[in-house]
Chains A and B, each alone.
Chain A
Amino acid sequence: MTNNYINSPLDQFIINNLLEINSPFLNLSTLNFSTFSLYTLFVVLVISLTFILSIGGESNNLVKGSNWLIAIEAIFDTILNMVKGQIGGSVYGRYVPLVYTLFTFILVANLIGMVPYNFALSASLIYIIGISVSLWIGLTILGLFLNKAVFFSLFVPSGTPLPLVPVLVLIELLSYTARAISLGLRLAANTLSGHLLMSILGNLVKNLMSINYFTFIFGLIPLAGIFAIVILEFAIACIQAYVFAILTSSYLKDSIYLH
């Protein structure tokens, strides 16, 4: 007998292969078109669609743009002000496109994941931690490129007594290295546990409400609570994208200006 319903709440994160590429000589499994690739495509499509819609419909509207442009402008203004506040100085403008791209991608991926029965892209730990580790490597290379050997002064806080320096360098090095993991783990763990929580609570209430008429009426009370949690998850989806962007720009500031 086969089960058509979801057994474990973790089943929602399973990645299925939609198109497989096989070869007798090489392992080409990274070229498979999976659920993951499909949802990456969705995210790119949604972002492109908002940009296409922002071009005005009429021919003389190309400069002014349509109402959709307001959404893009609002997000861009938020990111610009955030990067300006975090990095400051005269070079912050170079890093706005990077932070803007990260923010838009994570925001759209989170919001697509919140649609019921959809795959949450940012719950894949390996993918999000991959992004954060590659960002961290890039930031370290940027810091070494801009500041040469002075970059290592990042590991010694100013005004440290000399005997404490070896210990503090170790601690600072550890905390600097932990950024690579913690940046991505924060986002992925939030999405993962949020989706698990909603799935578990939803299944519990579904079991309660399907017993008899009394529990069906009674179950509306916890159902209202679950709706509140869903709203909270929507807020967390936006806040976590913002936090990822703000932490990236804060780490950029560390690489550029060293403290």
Chain B
Amino acid sequence: MQLVLAAKYIGAAIATIGLTGAGIGIAIVFAALINGTSRNPSLRNTLFPFAILGFALSEATGLFCLMISFLLLYGV
């Protein structure tokens, strides 16, 4: 039983590795926003909703990992 518990905690910890991808994704989205805005500042209002959309989509993938980790800790 202790072994199962340990495996549960290890699994929950490993599940958070997926957040790396979400972090890189969010960084790319905002880097592209800064890049685009500095090239053409008049497009800022057009680009911002797309950046927010991209942020939400890439953040959601990270939250899937976080959810798996929470489910392993508290749900199983």
Please list the residues of chain A having a beta carbon within 8 angstroms of any beta carbon in chain B: 8-10, 185-186, 189-190, 192-194, 196-197, 236, 239-240, 242-243, 246
Contact = CB atoms under 8 A, between A and B. Distances in A.
Contacts, number: 41
A196 B74 CA distance: 10
Q: Interface residues of B toward A: which range?
A: 10 to 19
A239 B48 CA distance: 13
Interface in B36-67: 52-53, 55-57, 59-60, 63-64, 66-67
Given A236-B56, A239-B52, A239-B56, A10 B66 contact: no
| B contact patch SS | helix
A242 B50 CA distance: 11
| A contact patch SS | helix
A226 to B, nearest CB: 16
Contacts of B64: 185, 189
Contacts of B52: 239, 242
Closest 4 CB pairs of A and B: A186-B60, A193-B66, A193-B63, A193-B67
30 contacts: A8-B74, A9-B70, A9-B74, A10-B74, A10-B75, A185-B64, A186-B60, A189-B60, A189-B64, A189-B67, A190-B59, A190-B60, A190-B63, A192-B67, A192-B70, A193-B66, A193-B70, A196-B70, A196-B74, A197-B66, A236-B56, A236-B59, A239-B52, A240-B56, A242-B52, A242-B56, A243-B53, A243-B56, A243-B57, A243-B60
B24 to A, nearest CB: 19
A51 to B, nearest CB: 26
A194 B60 CA distance: 11
B33 to A, nearest CB: 15
A171 B70 CA distance: 31
Nearest to A239: B56
Contacts of B67: 189, 192-193, 196
